[in-house]
């Protein structure tokens, strides 16, 4: 959560909303409040922020569960996941490892609830786990130079690789196509752009290697929202293929979406 902006989510503690909600729920005969949950994301995603939220939620459990111990405490998600070195280098701050997040949270609960007698600790590291499980492959179908700007057009879009609007360049490898080795190549400071009619559709800014028609751009650190946020804008969703490096086998996980899939829910 941006600390300069008031979030629309959850029950506000400072304004008394959480207090009113807790009293209303506990007054119901068929309702039991068993724990507290927070889900806050900061730009830094630092271990210090997780230490502070853990401290605060423990203080709130002391206040709301005076006569009993809660069954669970949920500190939410927002953790950094695994990243390649070139992606890490684009962040200003330190990228914590999983065990460093644990060291910021777990000792506080262990100190308060000794002998493993405390509530269940719940975390939600979904994005952190699956943010690097996929690669996105896009074929280069066009190149052009507009004044001083070099541009390579691929069969993919920013919606495939940056659906949440990040300004970071994902890790990228370009594989040359030997059959097109004689064709003209762009080299140095090339913008790799997508098929949509949107000016902001740039998958990778200032690529510094060679790239030409027929080559394949492979984007790494894909997963999580890069699959579910892709709209059917201009081109339907691509297939997802799994590769087993031990058996050297490919498996189709999701077939390519068709125009019929996109229009199937329309009734006129």
Residue 152: closest CA among 209, 192, 208, 199: 192
First and final C-alpha spacing in the chain: 42
For residue 61, pLDDT beyond 80: yes
Report the alpha-carbon distance of residue 136 to residue 125 in Å, rounded.
22
Residue 173: closest CA among 151, 204, 148, 142: 204
> Which of 59-73, 178-192, 227-241, 251-265 shows the lowest mean pLDDT across its residues?
178-192
Q: What is the pLDDT of residues 149-204, one digit of tens each?
A: 999 999 999 999 999 888 999 999 999 987 777 778 999 899 999 999 999 999 99
Q: What is the pLDDT of residues 88-103, one digit of tens each?
A: 999 988 999 999 999 9
All structural domains of the chain, each given as residue ranges with its CATH number in brackets, are 17-130 (3.20.20.10), 134-235 (2.40.37.10)
Mean pLDDT of 34-63: 92
Note whether 56 and 76 are within 8 A (CB).
no
Mean pLDDT of 35-45: 87
Instruction: Return the CA Rg of the chain.
Output: 24
Tokens standing for 114? 């000794």
Mapped onto helix, strand or coil, the DSSP state of residue 136 is strand
For residue 241, pLDDT beyond 90: yes
Give the pLDDT confidence score for residue 1 in this predicted structure: 43
To the nearest whole percent, how much of the chain has pLDDT over 90? 79
């Amino acid at each position: 959560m941006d600390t300069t902006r008031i979030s629309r989510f959850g029950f506000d503690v400072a304004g008394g909303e959480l207090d009113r909600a807790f009293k209303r729920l506990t007054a119901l005969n068929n309702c039991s409040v068993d724990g507290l949950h927070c889900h806050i994301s900061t730009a830094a995603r630092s271990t210090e922020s997780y230490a502070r939220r853990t401290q605060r939620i423990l203080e709130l459990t002391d206040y709301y569960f005076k006569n009993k111990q809660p069954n669970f405490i949920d500190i939410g998600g927002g953790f950094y996941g695994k990243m390649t070195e070139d992606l890490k280098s684009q962040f200003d701050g330190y990228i914590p490892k999983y065990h460093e997040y644990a060291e910021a949270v777990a000792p506080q609960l262990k100190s308060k609830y000794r002998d493993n007698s405390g509530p269940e600790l719940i975390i939600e590291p979904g994005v952190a786990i699956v943010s690097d499980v996929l690669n996105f492959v896009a074929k280069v179908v066009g190149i052009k130079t507009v004044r001083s700007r070099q541009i390579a057009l691929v069969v993919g879009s920013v919606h495939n690789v940056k659906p949440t609007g990040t300004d970071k360049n994902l890790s990228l490898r370009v594989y040359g196509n030997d059959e097109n080795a004689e064709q003209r190549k762009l080299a140095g400071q090339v913008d790799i752009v997508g098929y949509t009619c949107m000016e902001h559709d740039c998958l990778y800014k200032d690529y510094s290697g060679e790239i030409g028609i027929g080559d394949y751009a492979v984007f790494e650190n894909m997963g999580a929202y890069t699959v579910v946020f892709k709209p059917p804008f201009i081109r339907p969703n691509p297939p997802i293929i799994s590769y087993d490096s031990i058996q050297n086998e490919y498996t189709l996980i999701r077939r390519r979406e068709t125009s019929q899939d996109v229009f199937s829910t329309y009734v006129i």
